[in-house]
Amino acid sequence: MDFKAEAGPENVVTIKVVGVGGAGNNVVNRMVKSGTQGVEFISVNTDKQALAVSNADQKIQIGEKLTHGQGAGSDPEVGKRSAEESRNNIAKSLEDSDMVFITAGMGGGTGT
């Protein structure tokens, strides 16, 4: 799929797809592998090892002080606190976005 705008540079739309947690990162990886173009892919996770194998353009480890890169352990409260700890990094990655799509699973810790 190609989401690039066909109009001139004044009409360029910046679209970002953010995968949060394991399930969200899996969706981003699948979209990258399928050849989706015209979007920037961002993977957000507490799990440092999962980020290492992500195909996203940008990778953000959240909750580094809280989880030490070990993941949220299926605890949504740890996911929430990790996002709060890294709120500035997340906000910076979304600057200059016209549209942001967030994909996450509801059953683990980070994305929930």
The answer to whether residue 8 is domain-embedded is no
Closest among 55, 51, 53 to 89, alpha carbons compared: 51
How would residue 10 be classed by pLDDT, with cut points 50, 70 and 90? low
The answer to whether residue 2 is domain-embedded is no
Tally of structural domains, the chain: 1
pTM for the structure as a whole: 0.88
For the chain, the maximum distance between any two Cα atoms, rounded to a whole number of angstroms, is 46
Domain of residue 38, residue span: 14-104
CATH, residue 43? 3.40.50.1440
The one-letter amino acid code at 93 reads: S
- CA separation for the pair 71, 69 (Å, rounded): 6
Q: Any alpha helices (H) in the chain, and if so which ranges? A: 21-33, 48-52, 64-67, 76-85, 87-94
Q: What is the pLDDT of residues 51-75, one digit of tens each?
A: 999 999 999 999 999 999 999 999 9
Q: What is the pLDDT of residues 37-54, one digit of tens each?
A: 999 999 999 999 999 999
The answer to whether residue 35 is domain-embedded is yes
Count CB atoms within 10 A of the CB of residue 65.
9
Residue 21 · residue 43 · CB < 8 Å: no
